[in-house]
Structure 1
């Protein structure tokens, strides 16, 4: 595995002074999908194209958590970058990415917490540029802090999503039903940008990941012929 989130995870592990132990099962996990080997997800990785790019700003331990869904985005979207967030330091590679003339960055965040002159609710393509969605991969409390304390993001429009459905993500739960996991947010962004196939594939991949993860945690057998797997099979 060599995508951006996997590399960030390796960098974070190299800095750790003690092993990171995930909650729940201590059984060995597949290093490529982070699910225990009996419920490995690797054969279900979708293959789709997308014009959009993703930039994940990840709070300290997010790359280490097996339940993190930023990993799924990096599995699917070829142009995914991932950076650890620090209040006192900014990765020079991140700043270079944000300054690249190839990309049209949007910081994705709820508009109710932002000055309204910065808020947009649609992706308007600029000639010669591709959408780059900056996602704060963290708990809600952490994400609000990251947004406030990242002045280098202040120059970009804030894409405020207006989803009609409730979150389907069940591996970690926010106290609010209108909070979404990172992969759900990415899928909404892809749809707004016109990358409908990639959006649908990411939604389907998230559902299969959740099924494998929870089945492993609860010692349930998998039914790879069920509707969840069949929906994703379209994109393999």
Structure 2
């Protein structure tokens, strides 16, 4: 093949090559589904350290990332075993912080039944409340906790969900299993007053505004795909799709 034919072939191949959708560098969504325009940042007077599993990093619908984009003073740290992660250990070693982790279990303090004064008594008013949150599936979260020796002895907090999760575009083990963003929002609802954050302002509902807009947009994509009903299009089993309506 001479140079002229080679260049012509290269040009034809380039013209027929698939085009990749441009992704937003912040939310990692395609431009047509970017949710950054809905983000209104705020500081809840709690520093959230979101520990995101590598699998979640690759998901475009990752509510840990979404939470980080909304919350001033938050951290988003990728990993699985955080025992030797300098950024995590630096936060844990800060004498001006009171570090705890949001994680359910028998040894966790359930915030839901506690009165306002009882919740406030859990914290040192002279230190910055810093809450670690694991962003992963239930299976990966357990593994992350088991491997991360520096997180093992942190005081654990949890709550009892008051209503089903609205994360209807992703299958949850149970309807009361909250997404990372919903868990953070509800934690602020329970602890905001104890940290000097005005719950009545509903500023923390900015989290749900972004989340709900993303969910509704994804549901609209699913409905449009259903209307096309192309035989070559991948279709989830009907049992997994019943909650998308």
What RMSD in Å do the two structures reach over aligned CA positions? 2.3
CA deviation vs aligned residue, 1:148-175 (integer Å, no higher than 9, x gap)? 2222112221101112111111232122
Number of equivalences: 191
| Paired residues of 1:29 and 1:37 also in contact (CA < 8 A) | yes
Q: In structure 2, what is the equivalent of residue 213 of structure 1?
A: 218
Inter-partner Cα distance in structure 2 for 1:36 and 1:204: 19
Q: In structure 2, what is the equivalent of residue 31 of structure 1?
A: 25
Deviation at 1:127, TM superposition (A): 2.1
The 1:88–1:36 alpha-carbon spacing in structure 2 relative to 1, beyond 3 Å, is closer
The 1:87–1:40 alpha-carbon spacing in structure 2 relative to 1, beyond 3 Å, is closer
Structure ID, larger Rg: 2
CA deviation vs aligned residue, 1:70-107 (integer Å, no higher than 9, x gap)? 11111111111122223385211110111212322221
Structure 2 spans left out of the alignment, 5+ residues: 1-19, 112-118, 226-245
Q: Equivalent of 1:51, from 39, 45, 48? A: 45
| Paired residues of 1:53 and 1:132 also in contact (CA < 8 A) | yes
Q: In structure 1, what is the equivalent of residue 126 of structure 2?
A: 128
The 1:155–1:44 alpha-carbon spacing in structure 2 relative to 1, beyond 3 Å, is same
The 1:216–1:108 alpha-carbon spacing in structure 2 relative to 1, beyond 3 Å, is same
Deviation at 1:126, TM superposition (A): 0.9
Inter-partner Cα distance in structure 2 for 1:85 and 1:38: 29
| Corresponding residue SS for 1:128 | coil
- Which stretch shifts more, 47-56 or 29-38? 29-38
TM-score of the pair, normalised by structure 2: 0.70
Asked if residue 168 in structure 1 is aligned to residue 166 in structure 2, the reply is yes
Deviation at 1:177, TM superposition (A): 1.6
Q: In structure 1, what is the equivalent of residue 80 of structure 2?
A: 86
TM-score of the pair, normalised by structure 1: 0.72
CA deviation vs aligned residue, 1:46-82 (integer Å, no higher than 9, x gap)? 1333211111111122122101011111111111112
Structure 1 spans left out of the alignment, 5+ residues: 1-25, 221-236
CA deviation vs aligned residue, 1:117-157 (integer Å, no higher than 9, x gap)? x5352463312212211111111111111122222112221
| Corresponding residue SS for 1:188 | helix
| Paired residues of 1:188 and 1:199 also in contact (CA < 8 A) | no
- Which stretch shifts more, 97-106 or 180-189? 97-106
